[in-house]
Structure 1
Amino acid sequence: MEQVDARISKSKAELKKAFLKLLKDNAFDRISVMQICKEANITRGTFYKYYEDKYELLYAIILDTRKRISTTYHEMIDSNRAENDPDGCLKELIEMMIDLCLENKDILINLYADQDNSMIEYILKTAVDKFVKHVIDLYSLKANLKYPSSLVSAIIVGGTINLVNEWLTNENDYPKQMLIDLVMDIFSTVGTKEAIFVDKEQMN
């Protein structure tokens, strides 16, 4: 059984690797299942045992990315970092999102070639939305939220996604730190205790 599981995992990993390699040089809509299988040296029959189509394969890759972020975030939770330093954890999550885009810039640009922005937005939102919202929720342990945490999270995640869209579509060569600082400045303006939170002591 372990050998079978290992073989399945290896086949899936090869298909994902092949797909990502093809996406570096080809638009998403121009890649066929046959090309993926040829690049991975795996039969089409094996492909369809695991995935319905290339969209499902892409979704599996997105889930892998989300697991990477989830692992990091749960390490923050286990070490109490998220509770003790939610601001620092938020910055780290934003940096992870931007790093993922930097690592996969060619792939994301080619996804843009034949897709509207909704696919990129879905990829990024799926990857970090839940964790950013949790960090915002942790602020409510120290202060009362003036606005729902879901709206504050939407501003942060949405703002980061729009920055990435601008960066990719216009081929701007902005340094990573500038993007991180800009998102954190947005949060400082809209999400600091002074702007968006009501101090619990002042309410008493």
Structure 2
Amino acid sequence: MTLRVVLADDQDLVRAGFRVILGSEEGIEVVGEAGDGLAAVELVGRLLPDVVLMDVQMPGVDGLEATRRIRAEHDEVKVVILTTFDRDDYLFEALRAGASGFLLKNASPEDLVDSVHVVARGDALLSPEVTRRVIARFSQPAAPERVTVHRPPELTDREFEVLVLLARGASNAEIAQELYLGETTVKTHVSRVLTKLDLRDRTHAVVYAYEHGVVAPGGG
């Protein structure tokens, strides 16, 4: 099945470069381009692509608001945020808006292609670099009332252990090694955690864990 992609970026050269890279890849088709957030929302509504590569800083409606609108109206469409990581607030707002992942604008062509495949199959594009920034953001010194660790009552003991390790940025392989489980079993636990807590993906799980005190600030 060919994956249909929309590019949203106000820089013509960036869109052109991404179009060339993706257009040369078998199984991926760039079906539309937008130079601002509002145009991206309208384009997605007409074309219903599988994936949108979304810049943040665009005139008029920015990429964050565009992502929020797209995800609210078309939950099946996945959005990858194009970022330079110069603004942490963009990162966390994008997470809350429903983005499935992040891609550095200077990423390799291979990473660009991989990002489309990863989010299209329903996984989160959560690189170690992104995880470290999320953890750093929520691990700053905090008031005493935020230090109490909260355990979601919906989760079993094992699922809670998996959530804690997710919050620390562990991969499935690392979780399997830590808990002496098979990777297939870990995938099942991760899926159950996301379902029970109504979370979109692993990225959302990391944010949830720190915002709700599942892991105490400072790595506890």
More strand by share: 2
TM-score between the two structures when normalised by the length of structure 2? 0.29
Q: Higher RCO, 1 or 2 (CA under 8 Å, sep at least 6)?
A: 1
More helix by share: 1
TM-score between the two structures when normalised by the length of structure 1? 0.31
Larger Rg: 1
